[in-house]
Amino acid sequence: MASNCCCDWSGSLALHEVEEKPENQLKLQYGSLIVEKLGQVVTPTQVQHCPSIEWKGMDRNKLYTVVFTDPDVPSRKDRHLGEWHHYLVVNVKGNDLSTGCVLTAYVGCAPGKGTGLHRYIWLVYEQPGPLTCNERILGTSSAEHRGCFKVCAFRKKYNLKNPIAGACFMAKWDDSVPTLYKQMGVPE
């Protein structure tokens, strides 16, 4: 796993939503699928469930905030609803996501049909201490309040420094997306 991925976050990925590039590459494991290459293409079916995560320098005694967003909503050409947040958890001990306080429950990728490849961004921030957040708690049964999220604004609001780890993969619509849309009350 590369220890420095700053220069890889350019070109076709062009993640302007990330003010500072992550120090380390974040490794995601979705069952048997391992995502550790920036820009790797996956399917929504492969990433339906929350992955395990790891990165170089992770400390099990520290607290972290983990964010998963899609800046390309509804599409790469028209991003007026991005960033759409798929997952937001704070006070994670080390890389054990189950120990954190879930503000936005995990939902997998759901790019619209015919909208092409979307970029999906995972970012990890080291916290200076436990966070007490006043954000709306979002479950998995509605898409309401997930759009127009700004990870940079969240980071600033809670005094989080630059991301210490990050990953970006890409996905486009597959036949699992309508099921997620139905679950969340999104019209097709």
Q: What is the pLDDT of residues 118-148, one digit of tens each?
A: 999 999 999 999 999 999 999 999 999 998 8
- Closest among 111, 131, 112 to 120, alpha carbons compared: 111
Query: What is the pTM for the complete model shown?
Result: 0.90
Q: What are the pLDDT digits (tens) for 52-78?
A: 999 999 999 999 999 999 999 888 888
Delimit the domains of the chain by residue range: 6-184
Whole-number pLDDT of residue 70: 93
The chain-wide mean pLDDT, for the chain, equals: 89
Check if CATH label 1.10.4190.10 holds for domain 6-184.
no
Residue 54, C-beta contacts closer than 8 angstroms, at least 6 positions apart: 26, 27, 29, 95
How many beta carbons lie within 10 A of that of residue 58, not counting itself? 17
Whole-number pLDDT of residue 4: 35
